[in-house]
Amino acid sequence: MGTFCSVIKFENLQELKRLCHWGPIIALGVIAICSTMAMIDSVLWYWPLHTTGGSVNFIMLINWTVMILYNYFNAMFIGPGFVPLGWKPENSQDSMYLQYCKVCQAYKAPRSHHCRKCNRCVMKMDHHCPWINNCCGYQNHASFTLFLLLAPLGCIHAAFIFVMTMYTQLYNRLSFGWNTVKIDMSAARRDPLPIIPFGLAAFAATLFALGLALGTTIAVGMLFFIQMKIILRNKTSIESWIEEKAKDRIQYYQLDEVFVFPYDMGSQWKNFKQVFTWSGIPEGDGLAWPVRKDCHPYSLTIEQLKQKADKRVRSVRYRVIEDYSGACCPLNKGIKTFFTSPCTEEPRIRLQKGEFILATRGLRYWLYGDKILDDASVEGVSRIRGWFPRNCVEKCPFDAETDQAPEGEKKNR
């Protein structure tokens, strides 16, 4: 019990409320259905426990379930780690490089950002995930990524059990044109016959669980791929957007400088070890981070301050070139847009051709920003904020008359 408590630490019993949310309810429901049906199908109809293979198969199913739930609850309850309330750098002069959070009454440590859902500044914040009802950040990034890896692997194993169960049970009952296929089914023969026959209800439940397993494998597998890409670059999704705006600022003002991301250690293995360690505890304290030799310790926060002071790069203006209905996962916007829909509770905004959007952050195939309302159709609301597909908009050319650069920064264009 002491070991368990040392791994999962609850700040207070209020943390249990994270389970009372649609994200964890759906996620745990899918895990429960796939795991339970895989064990039932395996023991009753496909691979009996009295055989060596059946025993190993059953142990593997239990192992997948335990590891998936362990990393899931770690990611949920350990949390990302929050910047202490009232925090300030040890060297008071370093505060000039940091932003101040009025809500937390503290300076934002490097790589930290304020989450409106958690109402705290999160260390190395990547995103707020509705499936764990918590942020993904410094402390739980490894557990969250391992969950994204183990869930598809467990679902692939379960899907194999579902397919083989339906095949072995229906092989001698229905004709699907398989009579020419030579497959050794001796391992699946049951002697005596199973106590519970494989009826219509069992077939429907197995088919439903197979659909959940395949859907989870595709969706969660895509998320794992995205997370591994940013981990190997030692970035977060927020930092990727900051880097994109930094390059845009340099290009616009034609500055003789190159933005170098300071936290990329120059080696994928070194970047990998920043998140995954043998002890399970990430490197550092989440407040100070090692940087490249050719970078200032506060290179990224200095860039954030520049972008905050520059109204033009604080948000990038886009013009809508294609209508968008506001669907969460639009099928008509491309397969990549469909499968990379942001996993967040933040809304999508409906777009019509010719409208203008101010994007403040984004992903590879999605952008987040404000749509300015020109009329008073929505009382008391001047703008609508949310996500929209990147391929529905195009970046507007800069207007030299309305987009003036600060004196001393703009060169001849």
Mind telling me the catalytic residues? 129
Cα Rg, the chain, nearest whole Å: 26
Residue 51: Cβ within 10 Å count: 11
Q: What are phi and psi of 61, to 5 degrees?
A: -60, -45
CB proximity list for 158: less than 8 A, separation 6 or greater = 34, 35, 37, 38, 61, 64, 209, 213
Longest Cα–Cα distance in the chain: 88
Distances (CA, A) of 299 to 231, 247, 274, 291, 292: 19, 14, 19, 9, 10
Amino acid in the structure at residue 372:
I
Q: What angle do CA 231, 145, 82 make, to 5 degrees?
A: 80
Q: What angle do CA 143, 276, 261 make, to 5 degrees?
A: 110
3-class SS of residue 238: helix
- The pair of structure tokens assigned to 413 is 């264009």
What span, in angstroms and rounded, lies between the C-alpha atoms of 123 and 287?
7
